[in-house]
């Protein structure tokens, strides 16, 4: 959700005249926020390009600024489906990996494609039923 957010753009419009970093933004300005940039900024996260999920569990060493990572937006219009989405991800991933072996196939460089949400391109997988099932 930090390195490959599916919603990397947020479109906003300010309700009052304001300014940001010295740039005037009159009421009604159309704003396009690039959410990935702060989430991968070295000032916000130690080794920002590394997939290191334990940083969220163990207490991070170095920079760790959760408010720089807002994959569901923030404020009064924060995504109301956030909890459902996080639950669905866990259920989907645990169901898939419990029942199937998933392997990368080929050496294609995987790209990302923006089509309303981000999706992988050229990601080829071989998915086969697991030989043995773990405990229920």
Which CB sits closer to ligand HEM, 29 or 63?
29
Strands 23-25 and 18-20: antiparallel
Is position 85 an interface residue for ligand HEM (rule: CB under 6 A)? yes
- Binding to ligand HEM (CB under 6 A): which residues in 2-41? 6-7, 10
Return d(Cα 98, Cα 101) in angstroms, integer: 8
Q: Which token pair is 32?
A: 């396009």
Is position 45 an interface residue for ligand HEM (rule: CB under 6 A)? no
Which CB sits closer to ligand HEM, 65 or 108?
65
Contacts within 8 Å (CB) and 24+ apart, 102-109: 102/126, 102/127
List residues near ligand HEM by CB under 6 A: 6-7, 10, 71-75, 77-81, 84-85
């Amino acid at each position: 959700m930090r390195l490959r957010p599916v919603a990397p753009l947020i479109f906003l419009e300010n309700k009052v005249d304001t300014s940001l970093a010295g740039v005037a933004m009159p009421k009604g300005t159309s704003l396009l926020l690039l959410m990935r940039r702060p989430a991968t900024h070295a000032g916000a996260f130690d080794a920002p390009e590394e997939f290191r999920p334990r940083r969220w569990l163990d207490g991070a060493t170095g920079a760790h600024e959760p408010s720089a990572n807002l994959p569901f937006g923030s404020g009064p219009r924060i995504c109301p489906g956030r909890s459902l989405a996080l639950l669905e991800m866990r259920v989907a991933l645990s169901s898939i990996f419990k029942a199937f072996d998933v392997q990368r196939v080929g050496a294609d460089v995987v790209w990302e494609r923006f089509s309303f949400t981000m999706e992988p391109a050229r990601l080829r997988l071989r998915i086969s039923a697991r030989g043995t099932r773990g405990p229920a």
